Amino acid sequence: MTSSRMTAGILTVLVLAAGLAGCTDARDPRFQGWVEADMIFVSPDETGRVTKLNVREGDEVKTGEQLYSVDDDLQQADLNQNKATLANAQQTYDRASSLSKTGSGTQANLDSAVSALRVAEARVNTSQTRLARRIGFAPVSGTIQQIYFREGEMVPAQRPVLSIMPPGNMKLRFFVPETELPKLAIGDEVRVTCDNCAADLTAKIYFIATSAEYTPPVIYSLDERNKLVYLIQARPSRPDALRVGQPISVYLSPKIPVANKQ
């Protein structure tokens, strides 16, 4: 009899605990998600071989900092050729201008010389721009996330040599069922938790999908299968505390419950 009473008492406690946990989850349900980032890809305009790489993955860079160099032999030769053409065009223009002032030359010859000079100047400017772009500079401040081509490797035109992750481009992606949508709005703050993370992480919602999906592209919980869910994206208040690809849990209440503060 005593053993039966003890077993019944234990079962009662477990049922009550489960009920309380269910009430807590109902008040502040948890949604599974992960961390992503919109990368900035830096690439050369034309094909070339990487001759120098000034950064490594994980390095912090500032806007305008030199990142890499690509061989510029062809661009330098093109610039030299266009400079020679410009010199000839300048001589032709000077001669036509002098003849026009003395009345020995025609206006048509002068106009032709002016046109040729302008075209030559434009080609030199283009060549100088092509040459300058053989050096890659950081368009934004951030962290070098990944390097795709290293010194000695041939990089195709407009293929990124590396990617930069600005802190402001980090985002959290999670899915909520249709029944929870009325509780969310753009600008709302949510609470974020993850393994071994700080207890005060929050994020602000900036995107709510208008169309539903049946399952998220990454499944962290089998309970989420076959539910009509909507994608939500939020910007973390402390992006430096998170890592790309890290799984997270999101709570609609931005405040930490008293029972979970320990």
What residues are paired with 251 via a beta bridge?
30, 191
Write down all domains in the chain, each with its CATH number in brackets. Answer: 27-38+166-260 (2.40.30.170), 41-164 (2.40.50.100)
Is the pLDDT at 23 greater than 90? The verdict is: no
The 10s digit of each residue's pLDDT in 122-150 is 999 999 999 999 999 999 999 999 999 99
Q: Could you say which DSSP state residue 131 is in?
A: H
pLDDT at 103: 79
Region of 131 (left: φ > 0; alpha: ψ -120 to 50; beta: rest) is: alpha
pLDDT band for 15, please (50, 70, 90 cuts).
Answer: very low
The 10s digit of each residue's pLDDT in 189-232 is 999 999 888 888 999 999 999 888 766 555 555 554 456 789 99
What is the value of pTM for the model shown?
0.70
Q: Are 99 and 105 contacting, i.e. CB atoms less than 8 angstroms apart? A: yes
- Across all residues in the chain, what is the average pLDDT? 84
